[in-house]
Amino acid sequence: MIISSPNPEVFELPDGRLRYIEHLITDSDTLLSRLKTSLNWYQGDVCLFGRNYKTPRLQCWYGDKAYTYSKVRLEPTPWPPLLQQLKNVVEEISGYSFNSVLGNWYQSGQHNMGMHADNEPELGQNPVVAMLTFGTPRPLQFRHRNGQDRFTITPADGSLLLMEGPIQHHWRHGINKSKKITGERISLTFRFIF
């Protein structure tokens, strides 16, 4: 895995901060195919307003501690070597430690992620989420809970995006469907579970 020299951009939003490194991982094509074949992908369940649905994307989860996401309990799972390597890179660049990762595989523009905040209590006071992107970029929409402020970033193939500060308390984020996008994207979202 080759890392090009990082040059972070910082976006100071009202009540939150994003740190973005556009070109971090240079062999992202190879990594995208390795991630597709080597990880344990499944269509997850989500519970919304008391009803169970299948996630409109594939996902995988690895971590040292159990994690409850959208009311579904994920059990501890050992780190595959490739994810361990990527975690090491993300930790070194960001300066944070992570002990779990949620992977999302959007196989086309028909796959999406609804607006949400990563604010489960076990993620701590001001959760830091570090996200690597591989493949076809998709706009990531941020909406402030005040109903006014909005921000969109389209993380590039091979980029790292850090969500920091109180952002998960004040903002929600998500990925919309798009008829125009046919390519696939994988995001790896590293978290620390207390």
Contact 160, 3 (CB under 8 A): no
Q: Does 149 bind ligand AKG (CB under 6 A)?
A: no
Phi, psi (deg, nearest 5) at residue 193: -100, 125
Binding residue for ligand AKG, selected from 22, 64, 91, 118, defined by CB under 6 A: 118
Which of ligand AKG, Fe ion, none is residue 175 near (CB under 5 to 8 Å by kind)? ligand AKG
Tell me which H or E stretch contains 133.
strand 129-135
Spatial separation of the C-alpha atoms in residues 150 and 38, rounded to whole Å: 36
Contact 189, 130 (CB under 8 A): yes
Give the shortest CB-88-to-ligand AKG separation in angstroms: 20
DSSP for 79-141, please give it.
PPHHHHHHHHHHHHHHS----EEEEEEE-STT--EEEE----GGG-SS--EEEEEEES---EE
- Among positions 94-133, residues that touch Fe ion (CB under 5 A) are 118
Interface characters, 77-106, with ligand AKG (x: CB under 6 A): -------------------------x-x--
Give the shortest CB-97-to-ligand AKG separation in angstroms: 18
- Among positions 167-186, residues that touch ligand AKG (CB under 6 A) are 173, 175
Give the shortest CB-120-to-Fe ion separation in angstroms: 11
Q: How many chain residues touch ligand AKG (CB under 6 A)?
A: 10
Give the shortest CB-81-to-ligand AKG separation in angstroms: 22
Give the CA distances from residue 13 to residues 20, 120, 144, 153, 167, in Å, rounded to whole numbers and listed in that order. 13, 21, 9, 12, 8
Q: Does 193 bind ligand AKG (CB under 6 A)?
A: no
Q: Would you tell me which residues interact with ligand AKG (CB under 6 A)?
A: 102, 104, 113, 118, 131, 140, 173, 175, 187, 189
